[in-house]
Structure 1
């Protein structure tokens, strides 16, 4: 049975891994992590090891051979081979069926009957994430940024490290090498790191089980029956999906990073209060940061980045976001979602000068007192956040729908916003959540927002750690009680269904 990150078996596996990891020698510590990682992945489907093994072995041998070559041309050929094998496999699994069907339909309309063969392919969990990890490793080895790992077991651990193989974050080899392989000596149990890791896991459980899985009932109800609703109901659905996907995905990453921290392994951040972004560009510096940086370093910059003129830069931006959409899925809705964000970015850059002129005309650049300037600056920032959140939420509609046509119909039904009485006539409590659950959702969302605001200025975990035990432990226990009591479990609940687990 697949082992979910929010399941009791997973917690038991983590505690088992921690105990054994700190008991064995330095040489054995990476082997413990590899064994746990392979066991964890085996709970899904043993056939998935065929694809994981293919990615590990091809990239392992190709990078070693690449660094043996002295001629740059031959090195480049090995790099191309490594990328084609791994990214090609990912494309074939995720995109081939959709492309073959689209091609056959297009040729049929031209009067040319062509039917490309379709294959009943399985899609291994995590392949979208570990393929990008492997691709980054190959490119970095080619450029000499890293030395190819000669120990196959250690390299297999890097690719398959159990907390993040399912949904990331997407890893880079250089920052992880020392901590993942215990290169600087045997790691000894560290109480502070262990408790910090557990706190981060608890916060992830809160986001996922208390907020994301609660609001999912409302989101699923509205999006499954969108043709029956209009106006504000659909607006509420879009806003709630924005909340769901953030708490679901960031909650997963918190659990992953917390797990790694109990083992004194520091994984990269993936979120930084993305809905506080003041522009779409700022949003992508805060949302799925490891994917954004991967696309920047391995797609945008190789395409020329902003070095080849303004219009080429705009084209590169659109290409990058189109690829981002393809990475998420084969449907036209994902492609449209990616292109929409690309257009957002381009328009944001094109309109930068007019926006600055408007801000100046509104008084942001005139001689104001410190208090007046601060107030106008806060208002301007709040307005920018609102606009950015609205644009992102609009795009999420297409991301959530099963197809592009459904997304268009959803938006068409949403306007005009013609039924504001839903906020006073109990309609909100008939959309999948009763009144008590809806109120609980609002309260816990406010807690989330408050923590995100505080997190911008303070490291909350360090602040809590500095508190007396008589204060610190009640905070921990309160968090556990909230997750246990208010977490969504029971009939119809599938703990493994993280949204990004499907990509």
Structure 2
């Protein structure tokens, strides 16, 4: 069961009704029950449920111990034990082909492993630092770790941001309902109208990259960059919309990252909850920029290596992370990349930045590091712009009308993003219209996504990409 299935929204409706009809003081129990029902329906694995519950109980116990015993050894033990399943999956990732296929996913990977592990580590560190008090109610602690709208793909919440929102009962508010519906529709648009369509072309080229070169690889790289962004943003937007139905606010995880004009700026905008986590729990504890320039560069590279490892086991993920680390080092050391040299050419900086991000995404998406490097090489091995005009692109899995829908949807995304970049909150502008106009637009938007989106052209919706990390 995922956020794009009909069964999920039946489940969500039942949960909402239960949440708002029971006494306010006990509404958090409805969410807790829904959390574990969702995880069970999504995994249907006793071993995964046992591991998930065991991780919650162990990290809960370490949190209580750290309240009065601030020993680093205790903190490191709690982190090591809690993170062991995630670390094991990453280690096995380096042994791909030397272990039975699927053994890890069948035995030890609970849903959302990468995300809730980060929550637990942040919780334990914050308790150790005295930033927060440990939760003494084990059920409320489990509520925080297992919150079903965000456990699959984040954002990665901090305890002090989310715990109280979950524990206190919220009254029904029509504004929250409308806001949640708006976010859910936008999430569907991003997923079905852009991500899934782009993914068809991306899979076609990446899965048989040796048959393509030149502009084909450029198309694959650009579309994968857009696919990954809209897929991830679509899931997070759905998460925010679902949470808003309960009166709960989840933090934004993206701020138009492809408008960034530097790699540093990109990471302020991309997967913000992960970026801030890496800053607070890896980069700063290593010394940040407080111990000289050379140490700063080392800390930066280590942080991005950890980022790569978090995304998956295997050399390609480490290499991808290190690419971003090197990008930032070059930006800081080579004057030509400084804004003062290209200050009047913001668009040029944005395009250059997108190009380097895209190159890294090719490595990220490829089956292996070697395949990714070969694809980058093949980008420059042929000159074939005529494929845009001779109908060759229609052999990549999308017919003409599907390309037209994809391009038009990207134009809509660009327009909305540009408005947001200028500080315009479109939902607030939209709310100024009458209820008839608003609901007419909602219905038209839903029908448009249904007819012209993934399901409308006969494809099955794919799983969210980041759910696999």
Q: Is the 8 A contact 1:197 1:261 kept in 2?
A: yes
Partner residue in 2 for 1:32: 30
Q: Distance in 2 between matches of 1:165 and 1:458?
A: 30
Give, in angstroms, the shift of residue 355 of structure 1: 3.0
Partner residue in 1 for 2:216: 233
Give, in angstroms, the shift of residue 230 of structure 1: 0.9
Q: Which is worse superposed, 488-497 or 328-337?
A: 488-497
Asked which structure has the greater CA Rg, the reply is 1
- Residue 133 (structure 2) pairs with residue 151 (structure 1): no
Q: Distance in 1 between matches of 2:134 and 2:223?
A: 45
Unaligned runs of 5+ in 1: 105-115, 365-376
Q: Distance in 2 between matches of 1:483 and 1:205?
A: 7
Q: Distance in 2 between matches of 1:247 and 1:39?
A: 28
In 2 relative to 1, CA 354–99 (structure 1 residues): closer, same or farther, beyond 3 Å?
closer
Give, in angstroms, the shift of residue 482 of structure 1: 1.3
From 447, 465, 468, give the equivalent of 1:481: 447
Residue pairs, 1:170-189, within 5 angstroms: 170-182=156-168, 186-189=169-172
From 230, 243, 249, give the equivalent of 2:226: 243
Q: Distance in 1 between matches of 2:366 and 2:100?
A: 27
TM (norm. structure 1) is: 0.88
TM (norm. structure 2) is: 0.95
Partner residue in 2 for 1:206: 189
From 376, 399, 405, give the equivalent of 1:440: 405
Q: Distance in 1 between matches of 2:63 and 2:336?
A: 46
Give, in angstroms, the shift of residue 492 of structure 1: 8.5
Residue pairs, 1:13-52, within 5 angstroms: 13-43=11-41, 44-46=43-45, 47-52=47-52
Partner residue in 2 for 1:462: 428
Q: Is the 8 A contact 2:301 2:325 kept in 1?
A: yes
Partner residue in 2 for 1:90: 86
In 2 relative to 1, CA 491–52 (structure 1 residues): closer, same or farther, beyond 3 Å?
farther
In 2 relative to 1, CA 493–156 (structure 1 residues): closer, same or farther, beyond 3 Å?
farther
The C-alpha deviation readout for 1:300-344, integer Å capped at 9, x for no partner, is 000000000001101111111111111111121111111101100
Give, in angstroms, the shift of residue 358 of structure 1: 3.1
Runs of 4+ aligned residues of structure 1 deviating over 6 Å after TM superposition are 116-119
Q: Is the 8 A contact 2:94 2:315 kept in 1?
A: no
Residue pairs, 1:56-205, within 5 angstroms: 56-69=56-69, 72=70, 75-92=71-88, 94-99=89-94, 120-122=103-105, 123-182=109-168, 186-205=169-188
| CA root-mean-square deviation | 2.0
From 10, 13, 24, give the equivalent of 1:12: 10
Partner residue in 1 for 2:464: 498
Q: Across the two proteins, how many residue pairs are aligned to each other?
A: 463
- Residue 346 (structure 2) pairs with residue 392 (structure 1): no
Q: Is the 8 A contact 2:451 2:457 kept in 1?
A: no
Q: Distance in 2 between matches of 1:402 and 1:429?
A: 24
Q: Distance in 1 between matches of 2:261 and 2:206?
A: 28
Q: Distance in 1 between matches of 2:448 and 2:102?
A: 46
In 2 relative to 1, CA 67–434 (structure 1 residues): closer, same or farther, beyond 3 Å?
same
